[in-house]
Amino acid sequence: MQDRGWWFGAALSGALVVMAGAFGAHALEGQLAPRLAAAFETGVRYQAWHTLALLAVLAWRASRPLAGQRLALGLWAAGMGLFSGSLYAMALTGLGSLGMITPLGGVLLIAGWLTLATAAGRARPA
């Protein structure tokens, strides 16, 4: 299984999404300013959607590996780390300056989607 590390990372991200969601809903309830609670929730939501996207591309790669799929996975992984990670850190520390990192993560997430679109567009029919 050539993508074992990616499967492991996606599964770990899924576990972290559940933990972060539960932490945000229970431990942080009423502890954060509404703006920071919303930022934390946005981080969880984006990480969850991109974790599902990782799993979908890994399943796709298992049946039809294409150039660009692994790059998309890498861009999403880095994007989740910067986007969701900066939102989690900002919410937990209150350091608004961490929000400057968030758009960089967003750009990486978008780049992953565009890379995937390019890979799919270039694919030859089976």
Q: Is residue 42 in a domain? A: yes
Residue 14 lies in a domain: yes
pLDDT at residue 77 greater than cutoff 80: yes
Both tokens of 71, joined, read 């790059």
Asked whether residue 93 is assigned to any structural domain, the reply reads yes
Residue 126 belongs to some domain of the structure: no
35 domain-assigned? yes
From 91, 78, 73, select the one nearest 37 (Cα to Cα).
91
Of all residues in the chain, the percent with pLDDT exceeding 70 is 98
Record the pTM: 0.95
> Which band of pLDDT confidence, cut at 50, 70 and 90, is reported for residue 2?
confident
State which residues form the domain around 47: 4-121
- Count the domains in the chain: 1
In degrees and rounded to multiples of 5, residue 31 shows phi and psi of -95, -20
